[in-house]
Chains A and B, each alone.
Chain A
Amino acid sequence: MIETLSQSWPWYISGPLIAMIMFLLLWAGGNFGVSSNLRTICAIGGAGKQVAFFNYKWKDQTWNLLFIVGAIIGGVIAHTYLSSKVGLNLSEATITDLAALGIPFSGAMAPEELFNWHSLTTVRGILVLIVGGFMVGFGARWAGGCTSGHAISGLSNLQLPSLIAVIGFFIGGLIMTFLLFPLIFSA
């Protein structure tokens, strides 16, 4: 059992399970939208005193904070008890493309040379960790949601605004991948 669970889960298992997460959250009385937590954290930090956007009853969002605490613990559990001996089964084409940009693939979830604390002393590290994170936070709030809120919850409810947002996600992602990656990672 543990052996089977420790392998990489196929998409046709993972996708429906993510839909089940959305259902469980609705059933529990919440909803599936992770980026709202970033706004809640700003509100808890007292941002509501300076900016009206953060002045709301954030205590109603405590449940969602518990959800992301769970998301951390789930990561710990999967990493500790369900970790696969085989690395990521990444496509050869991606491995080749990234190697050409100087990004090696070891089978880990993320490039270890980018995602470590030392990387913060490099330009590309600052771009990936700080600028990347900043844009995710800024863009998610401007668009009113992220992958969970728009691509899963919104599209499941057939919301046209969510489709526009998801098209935006892809325009941005493709610009970054094909136009900006060669500039960022060439040096």
Chain B
Amino acid sequence: MKNIKYLIIGILFGIIMTKSEAISWYRIQEMFRFQSFHMYGIIGSALIVGVIIVQLIKRYKLKSLEGTQIQFSDKNMSVARYLYGGIIFGLGWALSGACPGPMFTLLGNGYSVFLVVIGSAILGTYAYGLVRARLPH
């Protein structure tokens, strides 16, 4: 069970997402209405620390637990897929108030109907796979 560490990291993630209220439909609305700094503070401070972490990993060629060097792959440059895909994602994010991580954590918070949201997100992913060849990337 060498993968058990991911379960533990996931548990920490679920607790952080709940206590930060980033899983809240209301907080997402507040963010898109620019009526509180809360979500911007969370994403902004995560980013500042995140940029430093990535720079340090690269500079000191940090190895993972398995002994291999931690690699970062650059994403292929394009505009269409990120912009159009991003817009569809944003429409859904504001409407359901949950991005993929929070969907699962909300389930744990007792909102069992998020099974429907997760099921729909899986269906959306499948639909993307079906029409992928016909979409601009």
Interface residues of A (CB under 8 A from B): 5, 8-30, 34-35, 37-39, 41-42, 47, 51, 53-54, 62-64, 66-79, 82, 88, 90-91, 93-94, 97-98, 105, 109-111, 114-117, 119-120, 127-144, 146-148, 150-162, 164-177, 180-181, 184
Contacts and interface: CB of A to CB of B under 8 A. Distances in A.
Given A74-B18, A140-B89, A64 B106 contact: no
Nearest to B97: A110
Interface string B2-41: 0111111111111111111111111111111101111111
A110 B106 contact: yes
Contacts of B75: 144, 154, 159, 161-162
Interface residues of B, number: 114
Contacts, number: 483
Contacts of A119: 113
A68 B41 CA distance: 24
A158 B108 contact: no
Given A73-B108, A75-B109, A172 B94 contact: yes
Contacts of B68: 29
B113 A138 contact: no
B127 A159 contact: no
A138 B88 contact: yes
B107 A8 contact: no
Contacts of A143: 81-82, 84-86, 88-89
B98 to A, nearest CB: 7
Contacts of A164: 79, 82-83, 86
B132 to A, nearest CB: 6
A140 B6 contact: no
Majority secondary structure of chain A interface residues (helix, strand, loop or mixed): helix
B93 A71 contact: no
A70 B129 CA distance: 27
B64 A109 contact: no
Nearest to A131: B95
B87 A109 contact: no
B48 to A, nearest CB: 8
Nearest to A153: B50
Given A74-B14, A165-B86, A137 B128 contact: yes
A153 B21 CA distance: 20
Nearest to A133: B120
B41 A12 contact: yes
A146 B120 CA distance: 16
Q: Identify the interface centre among B43, B65, B87: most chain A CB within 10 Å of its CB.
A: B87
A93 B30 CA distance: 8
Contact of B26 (A88, A133, A181): A88
Nearest to B45: A15
B89 A70 contact: no
A73 B10 contact: yes
